[in-house]
A and B are shown apart, each in its own frame.
Chain A
Amino acid sequence: MLPLAETARNASAHPYLPQPARIVRIYKMVPDNYLFTLRFVDPELAASFRHLPGQFVMISVPAAGEIPISIASSPSRTGVLELCVRRVGRVTGALYRLQINDLVGLRGPYGNGFPIQDMRGNDLLIVAGGLGMAPLRSLLWYALDHRDWFARIILMCGARTPRDMLFGEEMASLVDRTDITCLLTVDADPSGTWPFHKGLLPALFDHVTLDPPRTYAAVCGPPVVYRFILRRLLDLGFSKDRILMSLERRMKCGVGKCGHCLIGYKYVCVDGPIFTYWDAINLPEMI
């Protein structure tokens, strides 16, 4: 199994020093949401870099600054890193002005990642609303690449319209696979060509029978998704420590020093970003 020692090796002796990485692909998924594929310039680092699903990196954009971004690619697909970045601020704006072959800086991986050892042997339910797929995609492909580690894998993914679905084609390609139950839905289908479910994300629960005591649920999405999905999971009998969520906070260091991501006494950067729902309701201001 993976390699915490390997992960630790990635943490360079200088925790704030980014390593140069090259943009090898920019995929424009939906407006203001691009997928950047990056490769470390140092071939040894490119080959040895390992992360856990749910971890993040700090990305430095020259002449702009540094921000945390969750890793969207699976640890089982080595060599490159994929980051799904939404254009919202100064640093992401500068990143969007870069082109293929331009250099950025990367350091990490940081954070706890999903508790894979606990999750092994269970059913895995992944629920992504809106842009929630960004931090969950690493888990999705990691689980599919280690298929025998999990019993059933169920994916629920919702977006406002077909155009807004992150990784839409990729998700659609999973629908016919027999090793995963992939349920996709959109709130509205203006073009009338959407072949999958229509309606709100929670309605997908009507299409599958879950086994809550033997399932881990990983949830990510906007506040409205949390509100309805968490309610639904609790009603189904999910224990609060079997519901996992990825949180975002302002971060300046990523390694538990700068204080920005502190909630109560947990640092999102080192104690998270993956928290159980139980943690979330016990820490003030969590979601």
Chain B
Amino acid sequence: MKMLKLPKSKLDFFAAVTQQFGEVHAPVQVQGGFVFRRLHRWSEARLDYQRTLLPPKKYFLPPQETLLRYRSTAGYEPCSEDLDRRIVLFGLHPCDIYALNLLDRVFGPPFADPYYTSRRRNIAIIGMDCMPDERCFCSSMRSDFVDRGFDLFLSDIGDDYFTLVGSARGDDMVLASGPLFSPVSPADVDQYKRRSAAKRRAFRLDVEIRDLPEIFEMEYESGIWEELGRRCLACGSCSMVCPTCYCFDVRDQVELGSRDGVRVRRWDSCLFLAHARVAGGENFRRSRAARIKMRYYHKQRGFVAQYGRPSCVGCGRCLTACPAGIAVTEVIAQLRETRHAASC
């Protein structure tokens, strides 16, 4: 991979250059936390953020979007508004980029989702490395480093950003920046490696994931799920803030006074009561215990069977968002303990 460095003092110049590749969006501080949104001034960007309230999936799978338009005269037509909007998304952390790489597989072929894939094409990603806080466990989930899914990726190595060039568009951004970027020296590479090692040492949360499928298989009937079902409020916050939760609901909205309308999709959650309800009212996951088990089972076990790894990337958002204080790290630890207790 092409490696370069960018002096930290020149980041704002570079950000200005990226505007020719689309609207620049970056984390901004608002009341209650950080959010990705369009910048009015570069000085608004808070690249020292830890995690945003909502993950960047909102750019690729918006909380609500119109898929189709229906007119009684013309039938169903795709709605492609906004799909070609060019955006430069600045400052994504590795876990969030890793999550997009997982969503690529869900929304990719067969039956590629044209909305997601267009946006993925039209939105440039400039990643930025980070240091973990007490809720980060991306190193456990092996998503603390990404080798693809971005155009450029910047890592702080003191006076410079060590820059990985991940795409032809990323390379174009470098070229458009004239002399801002320069080749890396062996000393820069050493500095990058030291920085990576320091990051690995900085994690305070550790989750062993190697045997998760086995644990989930063995603990399917565990009483832990009933206990979690009593605590869970079924609010769906964990799904909304999760960078890899992709369930969506689809509804038709009819315009008043006509038979024309739109087909809209919006984020859904397997914790909601109606998620597994079928025609006639039968519900395959009526109890909250069954629903929370479904979420864990799919993230940590089902996704592994389908795509070879858990869909959790260890971003720590659900730990932060759950009003009942349910933490994925503790649930996994608890399941593991039950299993150890049984083996004694």
Whether the pair B276, A260 counts as a contact (CB closer than 8 A) is yes
| Complex CA–CA separation, A11 to B111 (angstroms) | 8
| Complex CA–CA separation, A63 to B110 (angstroms) | 29
**1/0 per position for A76-117, CB-CB distance to B under 8 A?**
000000000010110010000000000101000000000000
Q: Which residues of B contact A255 (CB under 8 A)?
A: 110-111
**1/0 per position for B162-182, CB-CB distance to A under 8 A?**
000000000000000000000
Task: Kindly state whether residue A265 has any CB partner on chain B within 8 Å.
Answer: yes
Partner of B75, one of A15, A103, A252: A103
Q: Which residues of B contact A256 (CB under 8 A)?
A: 106, 110-111
User: In whole Å, how far is B161's beta carbon from the nearest beta carbon of chain A?
Assistant: 36
Q: Which residues of A contact B11 (CB under 8 A)?
A: none
List 28 interface pairs A-B (beta carbons < 8 Å), by A numbering.
A15-B113, A15-B114, A16-B68, A16-B263, A17-B68, A17-B77, A60-B76, A62-B72, A65-B250, A86-B279, A89-B280, A103-B75, A249-B276, A250-B275, A250-B276, A253-B250, A255-B111, A256-B106, A257-B111, A258-B247, A258-B249, A259-B248, A260-B249, A260-B275, A262-B298, A265-B302, A265-B303, A285-B285
Of chain A, the residue at the smallest CB distance from B116 is A257
Task: Kindly state whether residue B202 has any CB partner on chain A within 8 Å.
Answer: no
Task: Kindly state whether residue A66 has any CB partner on chain B within 8 Å.
Answer: yes
Give the A interface residue count (CB, 8 A).
Answer: 38
Partner of A265, one of B252, B279, B306: B306
Partner of B248, one of A18, A20, A257, A263: A257
**1/0 per position for B274-313, CB-CB distance to A under 8 A?**
0111111000110000100010011001111110000000
Of chain A, the residue at the smallest CB distance from B75 is A20
User: In whole Å, how far is A227's beta carbon from the nearest beta carbon of chain B?
Assistant: 16
Partner of A259, one of B75, B246, B261: B246
Of chain A, the residue at the smallest CB distance from B252 is A65
Of chain B, the residue at the smallest CB distance from A65 is B252
Q: Which residues of A contact B298 (CB under 8 A)?
A: 262, 264-265
Question: Quick one: which of B81-107 are within 8 Å of A by CB?
Answer: 106-107
Determine which residue in B220, B265, B301 has the highest number of CB atoms from chain A within 10 A of its CB, and name it: B265
Whether the pair A258, B268 counts as a contact (CB closer than 8 A) is yes
| Complex CA–CA separation, A14 to B306 (angstroms) | 24
Interface size class of B (residues with CB under 8 A): 35 or more
Q: Which residues of B contact A66 (CB under 8 A)?
A: 250, 252, 263
| Complex CA–CA separation, A257 to B111 (angstroms) | 9
Of chain A, the residue at the smallest CB distance from B285 is A285
Whether the pair B302, A105 counts as a contact (CB closer than 8 A) is no
User: In whole Å, how far is A164's beta carbon from the nearest beta carbon of chain B?
Assistant: 16
Of chain A, the residue at the smallest CB distance from B269 is A259
Determine which residue in A18, A103, A258, A265 has the highest number of CB atoms from chain B within 10 A of its CB, and name it: A265
Which residues of A line the B interface, CB within 8 A? Answer: 11, 13-18, 20, 60, 62-67, 86, 88-89, 92, 103, 105, 248-250, 252-253, 255-260, 262-265, 284-285
Whether the pair A62, B275 counts as a contact (CB closer than 8 A) is no
Of chain B, the residue at the smallest CB distance from A265 is B302
Whether the pair A105, B75 counts as a contact (CB closer than 8 A) is yes
Of chain A, the residue at the smallest CB distance from B298 is A262
Whether the pair B270, A259 counts as a contact (CB closer than 8 A) is yes
Task: Kindly state whether residue B259 has any CB partner on chain A within 8 Å.
Answer: yes
Of chain A, the residue at the smallest CB distance from B260 is A63
